[in-house]
Chain A
Amino acid sequence: MAKIQLNGKKITIKLKFTIMDLLIKYNLDKKKIAVEYNGTIIPKSEYKKKYLKNNDSLEIVHFIGGG
């Protein structure tokens, strides 16, 4: 198990979990979101390759209504 920070919340994930696995877990369509991993924006093509480890910090954003 690994503890990571996702959108400001602490969550626990299985080991060998990728960003893509995380998106599936939260039912998120990769076309509609963007991911920042420890302060760096990750290209969509790397979601399957990027393994998460203890103390990682992730931000997943999408578009909402705004002016």
Chain B
Amino acid sequence: MKSDFLKISKTKLKSRLIVGTGKYKSFKETANAIKASGADMITVAVRRVNIVDKRKPMLTDYLNQKKIKLLPNTAGCYTSDEALRTLRLAREMGGWKLVKLEVLGDKKTLYPNMMETILSTKILVKEGFKVMVYCTDDPSLAKKLEDCGASAIMPLASPIGSGLGFQNTENISLIIKQAKVPVIVDAGIGTASDATIAMELGCDGVLINSAIANAKKPILMARAFKDAVISGRNAFLAGRMKKNIFASPSSPLKGLI
């Protein structure tokens, strides 16, 4: 299906799987996992350079940026000011306009602070950024973000890094039904089947980090997610059969001996 790409603002992606690059054992493992996942967009964080060890390699040394798009993220920011500062620096680094906004509200659950998130979205949109926004699964807040000019809505399935999978698929469905921009499930996916569920619900994409990086064999899990996302997308496009509480025989009754 060559025409089935994911379009976020003006950026076209071949893969509907976006992967995070945190928690890996090495940059080499990160690069191999990205390759196995088939993702053409990855999230990255903005942090201070190491001025003590000048020879230390950088993540970007391991990536072919002609093939892989970097999506700067504001992970770890708890206020609008911190998030804005981070993304403005990211833009200066390489001219990125497409960014991921994440303003956290609570250290234990890493739930987003939606007041600060909405405020930041408005400012970033005004400054010309294309903002993909991490948010709760509240449909009214998702709508509000879209009204503020968000380029993609990124509701959580469950808390970041929890691996709990979906806690409220109905809310995700409500968000998908009303959204005119891509809906990408951002957090809480635990294993491949969760990603398939997301795609079957009609999500436009999924973002996975911990479920791949924390697997016993991250590279193999990256491949599993690649397949899971493709399967779920195909199942969604194919349209599932109707559920029925009674049985329906698969073989014709005519000609029964």
A: residues with CB less than 8 A from B are 6-9, 11, 26-28, 31-36, 41-44, 59-67
The smallest beta-carbon distance between A19 and chain B, in angstroms, is 12
**Size of chain B's interface in residues, with CB distance under 8 A?**
38
The smallest beta-carbon distance between B173 and chain A, in angstroms, is 24
**What are 21 inter-chain pairs, A to B, with CB distance below 8 A?**
A6-B51, A27-B54, A32-B58, A41-B88, A44-B92, A60-B48, A61-B93, A62-B46, A62-B60, A63-B46, A63-B60, A63-B70, A64-B47, A65-B24, A65-B44, A65-B59, A66-B43, A66-B45, A66-B76, A67-B20, A67-B160
Question: Once bound together, how far apart are the Cα atoms of A7 and B50, in whole Å?
Answer: 9
Dominant SS among interface residues on chain B: mixed
Are A63 and B48 closer than 8 Å at their CB atoms? no
Dominant SS among interface residues on chain A: strand
B253 at the interface (CB under 8 A from A): no
B94 at the interface (CB under 8 A from A): yes
Given the known inter-chain contacts A7-B49, A32-B60, A67-B73, please indicate yes or no for A61 contacting B89, CB distance below 8 A.
Answer: yes
Are B22 and A33 closer than 8 Å at their CB atoms? no
The smallest beta-carbon distance between A20 and chain B, in angstroms, is 15
B117 at the interface (CB under 8 A from A): no
The smallest beta-carbon distance between A4 and chain B, in angstroms, is 12
Given the known inter-chain contacts A65-B22, A65-B23, please indicate yes or no for A36 contacting B49, CB distance below 8 A.
Answer: no
Which 7 A-B pairs rank lowest in CB-CB distance, beginning with the nearest? A66-B45, A67-B20, A67-B209, A65-B21, A63-B44, A34-B93, A34-B92
Partner of A65, one of B45, B49, B51, B89: B45
- Chain B positions 171-226 with a Cβ under 8 Å from a chain A Cβ: 187, 207, 209-210
B41 at the interface (CB under 8 A from A): no
Question: Once bound together, how far apart are the Cα atoms of A27 and B76, in whole Å?
Answer: 27
Encode B29-56 as 1/0 by CB contact (under 8 A) with A. 0100000000000011111110100110
Question: Once bound together, how far apart are the Cα atoms of A60 and B54, in whole Å?
Answer: 13
B72 at the interface (CB under 8 A from A): yes
Nearest B-chain residue to A65, judged by Cβ: B21
Question: Once bound together, how far apart are the Cα atoms of A7 and B30, in whole Å?
Answer: 26
- Give the one of A7, A62, A64, A67 with max B CB within 10 A: A67
Partner of A8, one of B22, B27, B48, B75: B48
Are A63 and B49 closer than 8 Å at their CB atoms? no
B105 at the interface (CB under 8 A from A): no
Partner of B44, one of A9, A28, A31, A64: A64
